[in-house]
């Protein structure tokens, strides 16, 4: 679902109408929720019950720990170049994550 999130960010970055911008944000929100639910479910279902709490703690530390790194960068881009460029950075990050995921699936999940 990262590809649709990247597409949604790219569309939101170029929208000139508030209603179309809102529709692009809906696409981003649905993608983000689907990704979060799928990732959480996969981690929990693939972990032994005795280790589930520890694994989820590590998973959330990694998932939420990236925000203090990425948020100032995107904030600086928005402050320096404007919000459209910040959405563009989000789109590039979404597409990069999709490429990494596809590469992993092709290489290790034949």
The Cα–Cα gap between 2 and 66 comes to 16
Predicted structure pTM score: 0.74
Alpha-carbon Rg for the chain, nearest whole angstrom, is 16
Q: Which residues of 21-42 are buried (b: 16+ CB within 10 A; e: fewer)?
A: beebbebbeebbeebeeeeeee
pLDDT tens digit at each of 110 positions of the chain: 457 878 888 888 899 889 999 999 999 899 889 989 999 999 999 999 999 999 999 998 988 888 888 889 989 999 999 999 999 988 888 888 889 888 988 988 86
What pLDDT does 82 receive? 93
What pLDDT does 69 receive? 86
What pLDDT does 103 receive? 92
């Amino acid at each position: 679902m990262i590809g649709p999130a990247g597409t949604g960010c790219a569309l939101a970055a170029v929208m000139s109408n508030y209603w179309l911008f809102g529709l692009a944000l809906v696409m981003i929100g649905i993608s983000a929720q689907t990704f979060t639910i799928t990732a959480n479910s996969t981690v929990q279902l693939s972990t032994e019950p005795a280790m589930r709490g520890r694994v989820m703690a590590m998973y959330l530390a990694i998932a939420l720990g990236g925000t203090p790194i990425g948020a100032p960068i995107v904030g600086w881009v928005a402050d320096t170049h404007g919000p459209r460029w910040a959405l563009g950075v989000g789109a590039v990050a979404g597409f990069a994550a999709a490429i990494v995921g596809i590469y992993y699936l092709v290489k290790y999940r034949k």
